[in-house]
Amino acid sequence: MTTLSERISQSAFDGSRLRVVLLLELHDGAQQRFLEAYEHLRNQVASVPGHITDQLCQSIENPSQWLITSEWESAPPFLAWVNSEEHVKMVQPLHSCVRDTRSLRFSVLRETSNAATVAPDAPKGRLQARPRVGDGVVRHALTFTVKPGSEEKVAEILAGYSSPEARVDEVTRLRRTTLFMHGNRVVRAVEVQGDLVAALRHISRQPEVRAVEEAINPYLEQDRDLSDPNSARVFFTRAALPAVHHVHGAAPEGVRRHALLYPVREGCGLALARMLARQDELTADDPSCPVVGSTIFQRDDIVVRLIDLKIPLDTDPLLALGARGPRKTAVLRRLLDTEVTGGLSTDRELASLLARSDMTLITDRRAADA
């Protein structure tokens, strides 16, 4: 029996069923509009591949509080849907009804049911094999593009901001914020101890952060108005770059953080993220492996691998790219845009791919006790 490394604290690729919990608080007088919007939404969601079922629940204590739960065959089809333009448009009518919302996602680990009441054709799916051991940190990223020609100015603005207060509340702290750029694409990765939603709201309210956001507004390819809650919500929904796999370890002195943005062949983003996750799993318990930690972020064909390395990035290109091992280069070749990467048949081509994928570090801020 294969055991799961305790270093793998997060994975969307274990094949287990997914339970999504959406907590909602409605505006006064919005109940009927909400029910009408939900009715339309649920009929559309029912046809999404991977969707099993959903329930709408109302609090027995506070009628303004609602709960939507849904079950999915596994995490990837849900993530593909929730991060799609279709979803952004689909949920738009709900926003005017909702004062506050929070989404939680869980893989199903154990299940107890009454055999006499379970339908014979009820979906079984796969349960999570065993509990994962976390490090208490939640990881998330945002990505967006700026107007070509503005990259140098945007990098200057992003590098010069003042870090917000790390303490959010009694249980939540900002641990680390790292910003990278590749061409006109920006990736901002955050690590939070505690409640990610509370931390993101805390960050958005800080004057130093708002000043930076306002300063880069003129350079964004996608317009936004942060004073308009709906405009801000749509922008950050589209910018979300979820972490789909994470392997962590103790970070000794001298470890450097890098981010790789892969030139993905159209439609192959999910397959590439799966391959990189498998590669990280294979090396997770190898004490000689210079990869201390790795986080894979994926949305559609945007795949970013954040790696903490004990060696210079170009020392072992195959390891850094996540393609070390038999036939891995051939698999990588099939998943990448070969018009950009070339054939990947020589060391020179692999080194060129690594250099081309390496994102420029703009700033890396840690909390004092991180």
Architecture of domain 17-107: 2-Layer Sandwich (3.30)
Q: Using 50, 70 and 90 to split pLDDT, how confident is the model at 121?
A: low
Which pLDDT score is estimated for 236?
84
* Residue 194 confidence class, pLDDT cut points 50, 70, 90: confident
- The answer to whether residues 110 and 32 touch, using CB atoms and an 8 Å cutoff, is no
Nearest in space to 354 (alpha carbons), one of 263, 246, 256: 263
pLDDT at 114 > cutoff 70 = no
Whether 17-107 shares its CATH topology with 137-366 is answered: yes
What's CA 18's distance to the chain center, in Å? 16
Percent of the residues in the chain that have a pLDDT greater than 70, as a whole number: 94
CA distance 259 to 306: 4
Report the amino acid identity of residue 110: R
Q: How far apart are CA 341 and CA 272, in angstroms?
A: 15
Encoding tokens for residue 9? 């604290």
Domains of the chain: which residue ranges?
17-107, 137-366
Class of domain 137-366: alpha beta
pLDDT tier, 124 (very low <50, low <70, confident <90, very high otherwise): low
3-class DSSP state for residue 22?
Answer: strand
Task: Evaluate whether 93 touches 39 at the Cβ level (below 8 Å).
Answer: no
Residue 75, burial from CB neighbour count under 10 angstroms (0-12, 13-18, 19+):
buried
| Residue 132 pLDDT class (50, 70, 90 cuts) | confident
Q: What angle do CA 303, 304, 305 make, to 5 degrees?
A: 125
Distance, CA of 201 to CA of 355 (rounded, Å): 35
pLDDT recorded at residue 343:
77
pLDDT tens per residue, range 235-245? 888 899 999 99
pTM of the prediction?
Answer: 0.90
